[in-house]
Amino acid sequence: MVIDIVREALGWAGSVLLVVSLLQSRMLALRVLNLVAALLLIAYNIALAVWPSVAMNVAVALIDAYYLLAPSIRRIRRRGATVHPRRSSTRPVTAVMKTSAPGKDR
């Protein structure tokens, strides 16, 4: 009996959060609320064994997680690709060889 109430609460909470997420004007809020809603609906649909809805909500959760984490991943990649940790500058180091002009000895 209590499990049925918890299961129904998961379903309703996920559904309400999904609708609220679609009303957001800021993309970050939409992604976060949509991710939480998808996770709640995954649990609800697993409890009911509604596998097509589980698959769809897993896809939605993965998409939301990707777009929430992508800026951090890009920042880490950019930081690692442009700056060498032992150099203070990103300019390439070149060796300069001093030579005398042809025919003149030092």
Question: What pLDDT is recorded for position 4?
Answer: 93
Amino acid at 86: R
**Rounded CA separation 68/62 (Å):** 10
Question: What pLDDT is recorded for position 75?
Answer: 87
Report residue 95 as tokens: 């060796």
Question: What pLDDT is recorded for position 79?
Answer: 83
Any domain includes 36 = yes
Please say if the pLDDT value at position 95 is more than 90: no
Please say if the pLDDT value at position 54 is more than 80: yes
Reference 34, options 46, 48, 24, 43; nearest CA is 24
By residue range, what is the domain housing residue 55?
A: 2-82
How many structural domains is the chain composed of? 1
The answer to whether the CB of 14 falls within 8 A of the CB of 37 is yes
Any domain includes 90 = no
Any domain includes 98 = no
**Rounded CA separation 31/71 (Å):** 13
Any domain includes 105 = no
Question: What pLDDT is recorded for position 80?
Answer: 75
106 burial (CB, 10 Å; 0-12 / 13-18 / 19+) is: exposed
How large is the C-alpha radius of gyration of the chain?
Answer: 28
Please say if the pLDDT value at position 85 is more than 60: no
Please say if the pLDDT value at position 100 is more than 80: no
The answer to whether the CB of 69 falls within 8 A of the CB of 62 is no
Please say if the pLDDT value at position 17 is more than 70: yes
66-83 confidence digits (pLDDT tens): 999 999 888 888 887 655
